[in-house]
C-alpha cells in the first residue's frame, strides 16, 4: 500500500511522530509489529532524571540540563534531535494529551520527585495529574495503601524504603480488602482498575480507608488502578470519598496508567483517520540508489509492501523485535546490517541487574538528521529516520530519559520525514 510517511513502531516515539505528521496534513500509516513496552510498563515522560547514569543527585531543571548535556556530548541522541525538538515535542504532547482528554501536568523547567512502587524517589518531568500529589517536595505525610491479595504492590515495602530515602520520613502503610477478590483469586491491576469504575466497589474501599487514616494532612498513595476507561471520573470520585489527596503509583506490568495513555492516544489517531496495520512485523527494506522504496511487512500468507516517500523507524531496540540477536551479531530488521557484534555474547549484559546494561546501548548509529548510518557515518537510506529506543549510544534507564528522548526524536524524525 502507499502513503506519504510510514511510521514503524507502537511506542511513544512512534505516536509522537504520527501526531506530528498528522498535524502537517500529510498522510501517515502506522505499522505495528505488536505492542511496545509503552503499553504495559510506562507511566510518565521522563526528560532527564539524572545528568549521568551514575549520578545520585536528581536533575531539578530538565530543560536546562538537557541543553548542558547537548553542549557536552554533541553525538548524544538528544544533541542530534536538538533542543528545539525537545521543547517542541513537550508542547506537542501536552497539547495532545489535553485534546485527547488526558489530564497531565509538568513543564520542562522542573522535575517531580515521585515515589515508585518500591518506595524509591524517581524524578520525572511530565506526569498524569493523578500521580503528582505524591511529589516528595511537598511536606505532607504519606500513607501507602495496598490491597489484600494483590501481589503487585506491597505498601509495607514502599513505606520502609521511602522512609530511608525521604527527609520528611513520615510514611506508613495500610492494607484494605478489595470486595469480591477472595483469597483464591489471582488478579492483576487490570482487574482492580475495572472494579474501581464501579461506584459501590470504590465506596467500599474508600470507607475502609477512611477508618484507617488518622490526621487530616496525610495523602494516600495507591497502586495505579483507579479506573481504566473513565480514569478522570474514577479518580475524582475516589478522592472525594476518601477525603484526602490521593496519588497513583505505577505498578509492574500491566501498568494501567500506561494502558490508559496508550489506548486513548491510539484511538485519537484512529478517530483522525490514521490507519494502523496490526500484526505485521516489518522485515526488509528495499533500497535502491540510496533511497528506501518500500518496506516489506510479514502479513498473513504474503509480504505486504508499504511504499512511502519517507519512513520513521520508531521501534524499541529489543522489546518489539526491532533487533535480532545471534550469537555474535545483532542485526536490524530493515537493512540487515550487523549493528553490533560481540566476541563473547555475555558481554551484552552487565553482572548486576542494576548497572548500565551494554545491550541498552546497541542501536543504529545516526547522522545529524537522525538517519540510520553505516560505519562511515553515511545514511543507509536518505529517506529513513530513526526515533526512540533503536538509537545507539545512550542509557535511557540510568539517566531516566526514555520518554523525553522518545518524544524529541519522534518529533524530529517526523519533521525530517516531512522534508525528505
Partner 1 sequence: MITEEFEPMTDTVEEEASVEACTKCTACNTVCPVARSTDIFRGPKALGPDAERFRSPQEAAVTPGLDLCSGCKLCEVTCPSQVSIQEYIRRAQNKGAREKGRSLRDWVLGRTRLLGKLGSMTAPLANFGNSNPLFRVLMERFVGIHRRRPLPKYQWLTFERWFKRHPRPTKSRRKVAYFYGCWVNYNDRRLGERAVAILERNGIEVVVPHQQCCGIPAVVNSNMDLARRYGQQNVRNLTPVAEEMDIVASSTSCGLMLKHDYGHLLDIPGSERLGAKTYDIMEYLWMLHEAGELDTDFQTVPMRLLYHAPCHLKSHGIGYPAMRLLRLIPGVNLEEVDEGCCGISGTFGVKVEKYDLSMKIGSRLFEAVKAAGSDYVLADCETCRMQVEHGAGATSAHPLEILARAYGHG
Q: Which residues bind partner 1 (CB under 8 A)?
A: 1-2, 29, 33-37, 39-41, 185-188, 190-191, 194, 253-254, 259, 267, 270-271, 275-281, 297-302, 304, 319-321, 324-329, 331, 337-341, 343, 375
Shortest distance, position 408 Cβ to partner 1, whole Å: 23
Cis peptide before 254 (omega within 30 of 0): yes
Q: b or e along 30-54 (b: 16 or more beta carbons within 10 Å of the residue's beta carbon)?
A: bbbbebbbbbbbbbbbbbbbbbebe
Complex with partner 1: residue 3 or 20, whichever CB lies closer:
3
Complex with partner 1: residue 242 or 259, whichever CB lies closer:
259
Complex with partner 1: residue 71 or 279, whichever CB lies closer:
279
Shortest distance, position 320 Cβ to partner 1, whole Å: 5
Q: Count of alpha carbons within 13 Å of 327, Cβ hemisphere only? A: 0
**Residue 234's closest CA among 190, 194, 261, 187?**
194
Shortest distance, position 366 Cβ to partner 1, whole Å: 14
Complex with partner 1: residue 260 or 415, whichever CB lies closer:
260
Shortest distance, position 136 Cβ to partner 1, whole Å: 29
**Residue 120's closest CA among 158, 174, 152, 151?**
158
Shortest distance, position 96 Cβ to partner 1, whole Å: 18
Complex with partner 1: residue 110 or 331, whichever CB lies closer:
331
Shortest distance, position 200 Cβ to partner 1, whole Å: 17
Q: Report the C-alpha gap between 206 and 14 in whole angstroms.
A: 38
Shortest distance, position 21 Cβ to partner 1, whole Å: 16
Complex with partner 1: residue 69 or 280, whichever CB lies closer:
280
Complex with partner 1: residue 71 or 272, whichever CB lies closer:
272
**Residue for grid cell 528522548:** 405
Amino acid at each position: 500500500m502507499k502513503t506519504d510517511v510510514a511510521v514503524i513502531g507502537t511506542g511513544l516515539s512512534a505516536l509522537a511522530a504520527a501526531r506530528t505528521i498528522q498535524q502537517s496534513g500529510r498522510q501517515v500509516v502506522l505499522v505495528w509489529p505488536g505492542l511496545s513496552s509503552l503499553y504495559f510498563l510506562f507511566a510518565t515522560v521522563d526528560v532527564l532524571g539524572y545528568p549521568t547514569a551514575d549520578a545520585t543527585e536528581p536533575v531539578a531543571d530538565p530543560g536546562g540540563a538537557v541543553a548542558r548535556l547537548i553542549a557536552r556530548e554533541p553525538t548524544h541522541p538528544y544533541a542530534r534531535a536538538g533542543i528545539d525538538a525537545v521543547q517542541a515535542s513537550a508542547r506537542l504532547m501536552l497539547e495532545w494529551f489535553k485534546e485527547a482528554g488526558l489530564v497531565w501536568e509538568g513543564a520542562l523547567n522542573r522535575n517531580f520527585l515521585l515515589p515508585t512502587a518500591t518506595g524509591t524517589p524517581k524524578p520525572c518531568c511530565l506526569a498524569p495529574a493523578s500521580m503528582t500529589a505524591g511529589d516528595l517536595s511537598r511536606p505532607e505525610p504519606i500513607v501507602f495503601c495496598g490491597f489484600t491479595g494483590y501481589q503487585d504492590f506491597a505498601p509495607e515495602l514502599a513505606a520502609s524504603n521511602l522512609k530511608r530515602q525521604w527527609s520528611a520520613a513520615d510514611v506508613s502503610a495500610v492494607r484494605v480488602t478489595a470486595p469480591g477478590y477472595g483469597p483464591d483469586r489471582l488478579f492483576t491491576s487490570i482487574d482492580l482498575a475495572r472494579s474501581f469504575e464501579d461506584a459501590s466497589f470504590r465506596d467500599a474501599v474508600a470507607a475502609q480507608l477512611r477508618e484507617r487514616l488518622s490526621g487530616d494532612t496525610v495523602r494516600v498513595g495507591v497502586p495505579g488502578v483507579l479506573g481504566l476507561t473513565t480514569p478522570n471520573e474514577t479518580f475524582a470520585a475516589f478522592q472525594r470519598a476518601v477525603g484526602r489527596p490521593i496519588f497513583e503509583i505505577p505498578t509492574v506490568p500491566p501498568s494501567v496508567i500506561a494502558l490508559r495513555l496508550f489506548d486513548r492516544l491510539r484511538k485519537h489517531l484512529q478517530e483522525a483517520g490514521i490507519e494502523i496495520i496490526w500484526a505485521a512485523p516489518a522485515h526488509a527494506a528495499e533500497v535502491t540508489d540510496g533511497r528506501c522504496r518500500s518496506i516489506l511487512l510479514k502479513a498473513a500468507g504474503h509480504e505486504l509492501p508499504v511504499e512511502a516517500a519517507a519512513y520513521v523507524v520508531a521501534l524499541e531496540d529489543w522489546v518489539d523485535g526491532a533487533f535480532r540477536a545471534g550469537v555474535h551479531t545483532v542485526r536490524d530488521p530493515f537493512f540487515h546490517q550487523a549493528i553490533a557484534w560481540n566476541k563473547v555474547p555475555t558481554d551484552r549484559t552487565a553482572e548486576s541487574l542494576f548497572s548500565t546494561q551494554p545491550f541498552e546501548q546497541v542501536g543504529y548509529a545516526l547522522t545529524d538528521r537522525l538517519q540510520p548510518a553505516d560505519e562511515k557515518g553515511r545514511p543507509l537510506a536518505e529517506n529513513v529516520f530513526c526515533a526512540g529506543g533503536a538509537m545507539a549510544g545512550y542509557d535511557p534507564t540510568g539517566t531516566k530519559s526514555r520518554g523525553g528522548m522518545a518524544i524529541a526524536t519522534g518529533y524530529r524524525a517526523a519533521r525530517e520525514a516531512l522534508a525528505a
